[in-house]
Structure 1
Amino acid sequence: MTLKTISAKAAAALDKELMSSGAFSIDQLMELAGLSVSQAIYRVHPPNNGRRILVACGPGNNGGDGLVAARHLCHYGYQPTVYYPKRSKNELYQRLSKQLEDLNVPFTEDFPAALGTTDHVVDAIFGFSFSGEVREPFPAVIKALEETRVPVTSVDAPSSWNIEDGPPKSGVGSNFHPMALVSLTAPKPLVRHFKGRHFIGGRFVAPSIALKYDFDVPRYEGIDQVVEVGASEEKL
C-alpha cells in the first residue's frame, strides 16, 4: 500500500473534525498519540539497549504527546527524564506533568547534561503546526540533537523541519536527521526527505474520516498502536 500524506493545513482540520464529528476529546487524542510513540520507542530501543530515555517536550500538543509517552515508558520499566522548559499553564498539560511527578519522573533544565547521560532521545518539541524560526531555548537543543550520537526518535516531525519541504536548507536543524519518526494519524509531506525508520500511529480514525481527508489507514496487527512502514511505501 502506498501511503498518502496530508498537509499541515489538512492535519489541523482533521484534528478539529476528530474533536467535533469524531467525538474525541483532546485528552483522548493526546493519550493515543503518546501511547503510539511509547510503543515505537519500545520497538526501536528495547529496554535491553538501555533504559534511560530523555524526552524533550515543546510547549504545544507535540510536547503533550511527549509527556504521555514518558508516562507509558516509565510503566514499561524505562527511566525517563523530561526536558520541558516552557511549561504550559493549560490544565491538561499541568495534569500530565503531575502524573509524571507522582511517578518520580525527574524534570531537568540542563539539556546538555541530560543528553550526556541518556540512551535514547524522544524529540517532542515541534509538530505539524511548526513554522518560522526556532525560538529560544530550542536552537541549542536542536543543535545538540544534530551533533549527538545518541539515537533520536521524533514525534510527527523532526523538530525544525518544514512540514511540506523537510529540513531547512541552512541554519538550525539543517543537519538534524533522527533515527526514527512516528507520524501521527497520517504521514506529512516531509517524509519524502526522511531516511530512517518510519512508524504510523493512528489506530482510531474512522474509515469515513480517512476517506474524506484522502489518506490510508495502515493495517495494524494485534494490539499494536503503531505500524512500521518501509521506504517502498513512502514514495507518495
Structure 2
Amino acid sequence: MQLLLLSNSTAPGRGYLEHAREEIGALLDGVRRLVFVPYALADRDGYTAQVAKALEPLGLEVTGAHTVADPAALVRDAEAVFVGGGNSFRLLKALHEHGLVRAVRERVAAGVPYIGSSAGTNMACPTLRTTNDMPIVQPPSFEALGLLPFQINPHYLDARPDLGHMGETRAERLEQFLEENDVPVVGLREGTWLRRDADRLTLGGIAAGAVLFRRGANPAELGPGADLSTLLSERARFDAPA
C-alpha cells in the first residue's frame, strides 16, 4: 500500500501543495493520470482546477471524480487517487453516496498510490472521529476508508496560553477521544505528513514533527524521520459501530 497523508495542503509562505511537491512527485513516479476527489468543498470545479495547476509541473493529468456519472468506476481505473481537504463530514457523506469508500479502499489495496490532505488524510483512518470539522451534514456512518489501523488528527495545534482561549486544547480533546476509544492517534502538525510504503510508515515534512497519543500514556513527541511502522499492526477498539 502506497500512502502520502498530508496534514495540510498549503504551508505558510508557499503555494498550494508546494511544500510537498517533491514528495508527491516521488510517490507518483511513472503515474500520468490522477483522479482527484473534491467533495470536501462546494466548488468542485474550482477545487479540481487548483489541484491540476499545482500538479502540472509533475506532468500529471487530473480528472475530478465529480465530472463523471459513475465516480466509483473512474476510481477503479485510476492510476492514483488524491482526496482533498475541506469539511470531512461533507466528504465522507459523498464518499458513501457515490460508492467510493469501497472503490477507493479496493483500488489502494491493489497498489494504486493514495494522497490525502487534511480531510482526505482523515479518510485514510478507520473512522471520522478525530476530525476538527463541524458536522455540517450527516454521513450515514463514521466509517472511513480504513487504510490505516489508527487515527490521525491533521492540523494539530499545540496549546497557546498567551491567546486566552478557555476551551479545551487539541490535546485535551484527543484525550477525551481516548477515554471512549482505545486506538492510537497521531497529531500531525502543519507541514508534516505520513508516508506509507507497504509495511513501512515514516513521518516526514518541513515542520516540527508530530505527537503520538495513546490511552493511559503521556503524549509522545515524534521527530521528522520517525519510524512509525509498529502502528500498522495496531488493533483499534472503538466504543461502538457508528
Indicate whether the TM-score tops 0.5: no
Q: Which has the higher helix share?
A: 1
* TMscore range, shorter length: 0.3 to 0.5
TM-score by length of 1: 0.44
Q: Which has the higher contact order (CA 8 A, sep 6+)?
A: 1
